[in-house]
Each structure stands twice: as C-alpha cells, then as structure tokens.
Amino acid sequence: MSLDVFLTRWSGGAEVPLDPAAVRAVVEPLAAERDPEHLFVRVETRDGSVDVYGYGDPCDSLMLDLDGEDDVRRFALDLARAAGAVLALADAPVAVPDEALLADLPDGLRDGAVVVRSVDDLTEFLRS
C-alpha cells in the first residue's frame, strides 16, 4: 500500500524552496526512472520504491509516494534531514527530523508537530 508524504521547508514561519543540491545528493544515487518534463523521478530501495514528484530546479516542495518498508522510510527521513524539510500527511500534524526546525514553523503547524529521529519514529508518525 502506498502513502503520500509531502516535504516542505520553512524559515521564519514562511514556506521557502528546498535546496536542489541537497535533494539531488539523496535522490540521485537511488534514481531508477525519471521524467524531467513532468518533474518526476522513481527511487528504488531494497524493499520498495518512492515516486518523487516536483523533482527539479527550482524545487519548491516534493510529494513522495512511499511504497515499501524500512528502507523506503529511511530514504524519506534522510531526504527530509538533508533538505531541512518537514514531513506532512494530508490533514495531520507535521513531523520534523530535527527539533531545531520547529522554531521555523508557523504557529499553526508547530502545534502538534512531532520530532522523528528514527525510522521507527517515522513509522509511528505515518500510522497516525
């Protein structure tokens, strides 16, 4: 079963673009299929795949379609860490890979935000 997760970056309460170089550093080693015209790349891990939408330069935000287990979630967490990004599900609190990122969130997102330091933490967040 796949799950959509959104990656966005915040600074001083405002949404800002992701750093394309930081995103590429995590995505490119695992890229298996791409469609640059549609800003799409598929990442393959040992236990699944991640469809990445919005992959380009500039890179305002990304949508990840996760389909797999621990390695897929590890990829999502590594990507969020590298990009200094927030992980969000539709109609749910957000998760940050580093507590320091909480200060940059707008008040509405900061309330209820969780810190995900490990794959287990991310798995629990995704089940919410």
What confidence tier does 90 reach under pLDDT thresholds 50, 70, 90? confident
Backbone φ and ψ of 76, nearest 5°: -60, -40
B/e letters for 64-101, b = 16+ CB within 10 Å, e = fewer, are bebbbeebbbbbbbbbbbbbbbbbbeeeeebbbbeeeb
What confidence tier does 128 reach under pLDDT thresholds 50, 70, 90? confident
pLDDT above 90: percentage of residues in the chain: 88
- Residue 92 reports pLDDT greater than 90: no
- Residue 1 reports pLDDT greater than 60: no
- Which pTM was predicted? 0.94
Q: Which pLDDT tens digit goes with each residue over 24-39?
A: 999 999 999 999 999 9
